[in-house]
Structure 1
Amino acid sequence: MRTRAILATIAALSLLTTACSRADEGETSTGTTAAENTSPATELRLGYFPNVTHAPALIGTDKGLFEKELGDTKLTLQQFNAGPDEVSALLGGSLDVAFIGSGPAINAYAKSKGAAVRLISGVTSAGAQFVTTPDITKPEDLVGKTVVTPQLGNTQDVALKKWLADKKLTGKVQVTNMENAQTLDAFKGGQVQAAWLPEPWSSRLVLEAGAKVFVDEKELWSDGKFPTTVLIVRTEFLEQHPQTVKAFLKGLVASIDYADDDESDAQAAVNRQLEKLTGKTLKPDVIKRAWSNITLTFDPVAGQFKQLAKDQVTAGIAQTAPDVAGFADLTQLNAVLKEAGKPVVDAGGLDKK
């Protein structure tokens, strides 16, 4: 009997110790611990563009700022030329995190009925212009002309078509899509008379092809702020690897801080990466002009996403405005910003369904 009593006491103490241990680790409703539910990812697959509007991606890559924060997580880079292709990669599961335009970001969220992706940070505000040949002096001069955007349904495509609708020019202008480098050549050759482009391509058309700025998109938005580039993540990746997402966001914050602290070297870093990705660097006057037109920011300007969704209807890209409720999850970003002593970012109501 004494032996049974001793064994019973040992069993009770063992249960108590286990219960305390689980409480310390944060037991979930399923009986597993938080540590068991999530872990750092072995790999993070990142998508971005060789554009100045994706400068933080280029700076972070050039300076090794992402890898420094990611530690043992392997960073795999994938280059894209326009948002819709990047959306396909995200929804297909071959990409985890993406620097992307606001229009395709909304489309990714809408196509998956709010399930596949989350908006986790801003990247760049402004940095897109509508440039034309010098002889175009008023909207009506565009009738019958060929106007280019990077890709059907991308951020600049929506902006152009919304503007044309506002000017009652829908159907009176030939809108086509080209890769940015082809647009430059076509403009020089006279096949294209206007283009709505992100930086540095609008600057290249102005400085290298004799174009003029017809509309600077920031003039169309309150305080000149609109989300040109944002950061989104696959929802599944965010849920499985919040530590990795937070680490990557630390790298993003470090990249933007680097640009703020040393603008000249940040531009040099961007140029090195552009040469690596495209085989060419930007001329000093081009990168200087392009840089002056953008604002690097963690703020996704989330309050404007509802209007951006409505603009897709006006532009004829969507029949109904995509529902963006619940799109934003800035939890990890704001945790990083708090730790760095920086102001947190407002989700603009997009964090609620």
Structure 2
Amino acid sequence: MMSLTKNVRTSLAVGTTAVMAMALASCGGGGGSASGDCEPATKVAIAYQPGLGYASLLIAKQEKTVEKALPDVDVTWQEMNSGSAIRDGIVGGNLQVGAGGIGPFLVGLDAGVDWKVLSGLNNMSLYLNTMDSSITNLEDLEGAGSIAMPAPDSIQAVVLRKGAEEELGDAKALDSQIVSMGHPDGVQALIGGQIAAHLTSPPFQAQEIDEGATKLLDSYQLFDEHTFNSIFTKTDFAECNPKVVEELVTVVADANAMLTDEPAQAAKVLSEEMGIPAAEVEEQVTSEDVAFVNTPTGFATFAEFMESIGMIQEVPETGDMFFDTEATADAS
């Protein structure tokens, strides 16, 4: 157990150090916008992850609304397994726009990545599920086996540590059990009995419940309602590409309006993209703990907890987290 704990802590430390090094290396070599000599991008790579938490972007991808709004820009879409991988891609210059959870975004910001949130994508509760009937709480889970999630600095990892602090008195009590795993693989590993628990997101958590899983944690009970995913980019890119930023915010707002006002139509589009029956998708997008809203919320609450357990060094100011867009006027 001790070696595993050391590995998790080391991976966090090494990851943060790598982000800091990449962020420093990218400074001064980016857009050159401060001197007014930048040129608008002709290619934009947008990264997202599997799951319903990216429904707004999946609709945009399926219907090519970004491409239609930006006909002179070569838009590409990349699916990745974790927010930390997306963060590294943006810092390294391989991606221009990313979508992900609060955890990797705040870790990057704290490490010196000059980026901000353009818009929220949704609010969703995140579940920690188990298939083991002998595990009814975190005390039972401690030492019982691996706990899968996208990465040790994912929003899911923050949720687990908050639960561990409240139930076990130590936020890092379960760190030795964390294993990095993409959501689809995590579902199969949980159902197959290869892991003790899986902290995931819609639609994967509902799929696990349908297979007989039991919920051990609910992020809304720990942090109140909060943003699950948002879209973000670096400051120099945003300053040099205001049209891209404006259209992205609009595209997300339009997709969220479809998801909220026309869930059946949205489910049909998502079914084609995700390979899930439309009826199942519609049930998911209309769940009571799912809301497709543009305003980011809960960032400060997560940041305060992350600072308290050493995941970040300080809580950022609101203006340092969000661009001034139509979506972020009431961001928190």
Identify the residue that residue 254 of structure 2 maps to in structure 1.
254
Cα 1:87–1:77 change in 2 (3 A) is same
Q: Secondary structure at the match of 2:321?
A: coil
Q: Secondary structure at the match of 1:44?
A: strand
Alignment of 1:7-86 (within 5 A): 40-86=40-86
* Pairwise CA distance, 1:289: 3.6
Does residue 274 of the first structure (1) align with residue 274 of the second (2)? yes
Identify the residue that residue 190 of structure 1 maps to in structure 2.
193
* CA displacement, residues 105-137 of structure 1 (integer Å, 9 cap, x when unaligned): 11221222xx52111111111241111233322
Cα 1:128–1:265 change in 2 (3 A) is same
Q: Which runs of 5+ in 1 are unaligned?
A: 1-35, 276-280, 338-343, 349-353
* Pairwise CA distance, 1:308: 1.1
Out of 307, 312, 323, the position equivalent to 2:316 is 323
Does residue 297 of the first structure (1) align with residue 296 of the second (2)? no
Identify the residue that residue 12 of structure 2 maps to in structure 1.
none
* Pairwise CA distance, 1:175: 2.5
**Mean CA deviation greater in 91-100 or 290-299:** 290-299
Alignment of 1:163-178 (within 5 A): 163-168=163-168, 170-171=172-173, 174-178=177-181
* Aligned AA (1:41): A
Cα 1:254–1:290 change in 2 (3 A) is closer
CA distance in 1, matches of 2:142, 2:181: 20
CA distance in 1, matches of 2:192, 2:310: 30
Identify the residue that residue 144 of structure 1 maps to in structure 2.
143
Q: TM-score scaled to structure 2, two decimals? A: 0.79
CA distance in 1, matches of 2:294, 2:38: 25
Identify the residue that residue 124 of structure 1 maps to in structure 2.
122
Q: Secondary structure at the match of 1:312?
A: helix
Out of 278, 283, 291, the position equivalent to 1:288 is 283
* Aligned AA (1:294): V
* CA displacement, residues 175-226 of structure 1 (integer Å, 9 cap, x when unaligned): 322222222222122222222111111112111x31022222112233xx21
Cα 1:328–1:295 change in 2 (3 A) is same
Q: Secondary structure at the match of 2:151?
A: coil
Contact conserved, 1:328 with 1:347, CA < 8 A, in 2?
A: no
Contact conserved, 1:131 with 1:213, CA < 8 A, in 2?
A: yes
* Pairwise CA distance, 1:143: 2.4
* Pairwise CA distance, 1:261: 2.6
- Report % sequence identity: 22
* CA displacement, residues 143-190 of structure 1 (integer Å, 9 cap, x when unaligned): 222222221211101211221122225436723222222222221222
CA distance in 2, matches of 1:248, 1:187: 36
Query: How many residues are treated as equivalent by the alignment?
Result: 292
* Aligned AA (2:238): L
Q: Which runs of 5+ in 2 are unaligned?
A: 1-35
CA distance in 2, matches of 1:287, 1:184: 20
Contact conserved, 1:131 with 1:215, CA < 8 A, in 2?
A: yes
CA distance in 2, matches of 1:190, 1:290: 28
Contact conserved, 1:60 with 1:66, CA < 8 A, in 2?
A: yes
CA distance in 1, matches of 2:187, 2:308: 28
Q: TM-score scaled to structure 1, two decimals? A: 0.75
* Pairwise CA distance, 1:322: 4.8
Does residue 181 of the first structure (1) align with residue 181 of the second (2)? no
* Aligned AA (2:250): K
CA distance in 1, matches of 2:117, 2:165: 28
CA distance in 1, matches of 2:293, 2:285: 16
Q: Secondary structure at the match of 1:327?
A: helix
Identify the residue that residue 213 of structure 2 maps to in structure 1.
211
